[in-house]
């Protein structure tokens, strides 16, 4: 039978607990499940205070926290979830006995954390866990804030896909990877045809809705490994790792056809939309700037040839 306990822990209360009966805490030793050096609860707190402040990466913070608790209490696994931040991290392998905490601080939800071990948690171990969660407070909060800051810095605020900065980073990475492993790399540059007419006739709010619809439609045409970015305005880039020109043309045509067939309405009026796409495949020794420039020129070639078509 699985033992499961669930609690909500408010870090404001936890901080008060950290200052309570310090002498008793310093003498508390939890027998480890492995033949390692015993450590007092206070000793582990001091160790965690130093370690957890060395990283802003949430995976690294939780890794250090789990390793310390695994040594101290004999945990088998730690699982952390924060759906609003799209975070789900698991360390170790789940076991029979579980305890979980819903963490809050100053009214802000910081996520849910679950611990498991093969043996039943004792009352002392549960008290120690709750105390040590207090040491996770600021590192966890800072890691979540850092993750959110990166998301805003690298994502387009309107559509949620990668922005130009994100594209530059991904393109540099993939060009180096393709050169190192001798694998193909292609990209598509896509521009929405006559998009200015939608903004001029219906307003920018409807234009924004149209861009979101385009992004959703394009995503449905891509593989899990493909990456979609907004260059600016109505221009987008699809990065296709390990994809040659022939396969890239197949994906581009699927996108072109899906946008052409997309059902988009404004106040009951069907608004036809099409896209022009340029396809560029990385050449030996080529730099990312050149690859991007070739794709852009081919996109304009498709537009000059009549729009709603592909050039490669």
| Whether the predicted pLDDT of 39 surpasses 90 | no
**CB count, 10 Å around CB of 278?**
23
Is 275 a residue whose pLDDT tops 80? yes
pLDDT at position 267:
85
Report the pLDDT averaged over residues 138-159: 90
Residues classed as catalytic: 234
Share of the chain above pLDDT 90, in %: 76
Find the angle CA(130)-CA(134)-CA(139) to the nearest 5 degrees. 135
pTM score above 0.95: no
- Whether 257 maps to a domain, the answer reads yes
Least confident range of 109-113, 148-152, 222-226, 304-308: 148-152
Residue-averaged pLDDT of the chain: 88
Q: Considering its fold, how many domains does the chain have in total?
A: 2
- Exposure string (b/e) for 165-191, b if CB count within 10 Å is 16 or more? ebbbebbeebbeebeeeeebbbbbbbb
Of 105, 124, 154, the domain-final residue = 154
Stretch 169-184: mean pLDDT:
96
pLDDT value at position 38? Answer: 58
Give yes or no: residues 103 and 55 share one domain.
Answer: yes
Q: Are residues 137 and 175 in the same domain?
A: no
Q: State the CATH number of the domain containing residue 101.
A: 3.30.450
| Of residues 34 and 242, more confidently modeled | 242
Query: Are 197 and 135 found together in one domain?
Result: no
- Looking at the fold, whether 58 and 148 belong to one and the same domain comes out as yes
At 7, is the pLDDT very low, low, confident or very high (cuts 50, 70, 90)?
A: low
Domain span at 256: 164-311
Q: Within this chain, do residues 108 and 148 fall inside the same structural domain, yes or no?
A: yes
The domain boundary residue, chosen from 99, 129, 154: 154
Question: Which residues are CB-contacts of 29 (< 8 A; sequence separation ≥ 6)?
Answer: 38, 39, 40, 41
In-domain check, residue 24? yes
Residues 20 and 70 in one domain: yes
Residues 142 and 17 in one domain: yes
Q: Give the domain-ending residue among 125, 154, 183.
A: 154
94 and 188, same domain (yes or no): no
Residue with tokens 């789990």: 66
Regarding whether 237 and 100 lie in a shared domain, the answer is no
CATH code of the domain in which 274 resides: 3.30.70.270
Calculate the alpha carbon distances from 167 to 112, 192, 229, 239, 305 in Å: 32, 19, 6, 9, 27
Residue 106: per-residue pLDDT: 82
Residue 143 located in a structural domain:
yes
Report whether pLDDT(25) > 90: no
Partner residues linked to 116 by β-bridges: 77, 98
- 60 within domain boundaries: yes
Please check whether residues 251 and 130 belong to one and the same domain: no
**One domain, residues 133 and 203:** no
Q: Is residue 159 part of a domain?
A: no
Examine residue 221 and state whether it is found in any structural domain, yes or no: yes
């Amino acid at each position: 039978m699985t033992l499961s306990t669930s609690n909500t822990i408010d870090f404001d209360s936890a901080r008060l607990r950290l200052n309570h009966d310090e002498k008793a805490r310093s003498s508390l030793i939890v027998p480890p499940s492995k033949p390692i050096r015993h450590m007092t609860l206070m000793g582990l707190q001091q160790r965690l205070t130093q370690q957890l402040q060395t990283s802003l990466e949430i995976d690294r913070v939780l890794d250090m926290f789990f390793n310390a608790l695994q040594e101290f209490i004999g945990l088998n696994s730690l699982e952390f979830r924060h759906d609003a931040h799209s975070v789900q991290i698991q360390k170790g392998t789940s076991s029979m006995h579980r305890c979980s905490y819903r963490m809050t601080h100053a009214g802000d939800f910081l996520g849910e954390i679950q611990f498991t071990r093969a043996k039943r948690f004792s009352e002392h171990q549960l008290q120690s866990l709750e105390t040590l969660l207090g040491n996770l407070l600021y590192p966890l909060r800072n890691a979540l804030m850092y993750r959110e800051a990166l998301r805003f810095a690298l994502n387009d605020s309107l559509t949620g896909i990668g922005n130009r900065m994100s594209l530059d980073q991904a393109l540099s990475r993939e060009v180096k990877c393709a050169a190192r492993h001798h694998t193909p790399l292609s990209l598509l540059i896509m521009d929405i045809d006559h998009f200015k007419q939608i903004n001029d006739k219906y307003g920018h709010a409807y234009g924004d809705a149209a861009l979101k619809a385009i992004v959703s439609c394009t995503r449905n045409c891509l593989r899990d490994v493909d990456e979609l970015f907004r260059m600016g305005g109505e221009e987008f880039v699809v990065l296709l790792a390990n994809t040659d020109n022939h396969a890239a043309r197949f994906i581009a045509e699927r996108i072109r056809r899906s946008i052409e067939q997309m059902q988009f309405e404004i106040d009951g009026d069907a608004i036809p939309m099409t896209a022009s796409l340029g396809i560029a495949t990385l050449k030996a020794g080529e730099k990312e700037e050149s690859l991007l420039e070739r794709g852009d020129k081919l996109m304009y070639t498709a537009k000059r040839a009549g729009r709603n078509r592909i050039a490669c």
